[in-house]
Structure 1
């Protein structure tokens, strides 16, 4: 069977120069919560209206583009997922600057029909680009497209394909690896790719008694300082938990019932807003106060489970939280009470 080249299309909407130059270095932007200070952004567009440029992108990918300086980075896959690439475009023109094959594999692994082989969003620091392809591996490149290091040592089975995006904090690159067989969070030294710590997920005893896929999840974590100490908060199968960034030690956790959680947590109003579920495939937004150990009932401020999406992450804006169900229903809640507005 012949394989034809596949091209994605990246469209950059027109905006004021200051907004175009603003960095967007990770999944969901500078703070990881989808917030931006940019002004003058278009609120409608078509194939021609408010379009600065559009450019075909080699391969096929589902990662969000990330921006730093005059570069846009993303990932793509070719040869049915056996050739994985880091792609860089010029921000001003859309011209292709780099197309680097970073990983080749004889086994592309499984994926969901709505997923691809290049879905996790890259993350940028001042000098480097970090791209992640789930169990296929993680690669660090410099801004000229030269590979600095590569780590392909983590084996776990994500039967719907890689989805959780890497994040950075100080000198650490953090990965969430919630497969059906192994579940762990790992901190790599971002300069070398070596393991600083690796923390197995807990609280999966009930999931182990369900079907084999009941321990998998696909969420991207959020880092937030609490009482002067940074916490890494990540939803997983049957629970959400917070971890100490220095050691990986679990700090607190809250149970729920369900797996395949995707939405990224948010933080505001002294609360974490996390996506979990009240039963499998019936998703729920929880507002919780961080604590110690298993959260107490009074630390779970509210829960809302009507039309909560599976894949899209909620958006917290001051004292309102918005989400759009996978079927297209938009909801706005009072972020302090959980009541629908």
Structure 2
């Protein structure tokens, strides 16, 4: 009982320390609820005020960028054509249209899933790594992307799950691949979530 209490106390202190550091190492922020700690929120972003740097997103995907230390990680997929997810302005009629058409087909050419590491300070690319290249085995809805899973990071590295490719990969913060595990390919239609 004492060991369990001590473990919970140490875990709580570690998590509190991470939250105080202001890092976003997982989906929806430090607490996983999409809420950042109390900070003043700028109201003048539209005029470019407060923007330290801006770079084009190198890959398509719904995966949230995450920050660990001075590194920002972005996971995505690249391939022939425009892989950018469509929105309502691009022809997606309603949220209820999430089913894939019976006539939809997966891309004919291989996709490449990648992880990018950018500098938090200036946005320059520190490194990029190919996770896997393969042909998709099923179609997706036009509003979805091939990389919807957000990476996660800790002091040992960054971890990327590519459900549509059936691959889980770990990288060091220096870009070295630590390991890769093949998993079941997860169809996205009314299926998995991360």
Q: TM-score, normalised by structure 2?
A: 0.67
Q: Does 1:132 align with 2:106?
A: no
Alignment of 1:160-199 (within 5 A): none
In structure 2, how many angstroms separate the alpha carbons of the residues matched to 1:156 and 1:65? Answer: 21
Higher relative contact order (CA 8 A, sep 6+): 2
Higher helix share: 2
Q: Deviations over 1:3-57 (max 9, x none)?
A: xxxxxxxxxxxxxxxx9x6200101011111222252331341152221210123
Alignment of 1:85-100 (within 5 A): 85-100=114-129
- Tell me the SS of whatever aligns to 2:57: strand
Alignment of 1:55-74 (within 5 A): 55-74=55-74
Q: Does 1:112 align with 2:86?
A: no
In structure 2, how many angstroms separate the alpha carbons of the residues matched to 1:59 and 1:135? Answer: 15
- The 3 A distance-change label for structure 1 pair 29 and 57 is same
In structure 1, how many angstroms separate the alpha carbons of the residues matched to 2:185 and 2:146? Answer: 16
Q: What stretches of structure 2 of length at least 5 have no aligned partner?
A: 1-18, 81-109
- Tell me the SS of whatever aligns to 2:35: coil
- The 3 A distance-change label for structure 1 pair 106 and 42 is same
Number of the residue aligned with 1:244: none
Q: Deviations over 1:223-278 (max 9, x none)?
A: xxxxxxxxxxxxxxxxxxxxxxxxxxxxxxxxxxxxxxxxxxxxxxxxxxxxxxxx
Number of the residue aligned with 1:144: 174
Number of the residue aligned with 1:217: 191
> How far is 1:63 from its partner?
1.1
Equivalent residues, number: 145
> How far is 1:218 from its partner?
4.3
Two-structure CA RMSD over aligned residues (Å):
2.1
In structure 2, how many angstroms separate the alpha carbons of the residues matched to 1:50 and 1:150? Answer: 39
- The 3 A distance-change label for structure 1 pair 108 and 66 is farther
> Looking at CA atoms only, which structure, 1 or 2, has the larger radius of gyration?
1
Number of the residue aligned with 1:29: 29
Q: TM-score, normalised by structure 1?
A: 0.40
> How far is 1:108 from its partner?
5.6
Q: Deviations over 1:264-304 (max 9, x none)?
A: xxxxxxxxxxxxxxxxxxxxxxxxxxxxxxxxxxxxxxxxx
- The 3 A distance-change label for structure 1 pair 117 and 108 is farther
- Tell me the SS of whatever aligns to 1:100: strand
- The 3 A distance-change label for structure 1 pair 43 and 219 is farther
Higher strand share: 1
| Equivalent residues of 1:108, 1:117 under 8 A apart | no
Number of the residue aligned with 1:121: 150
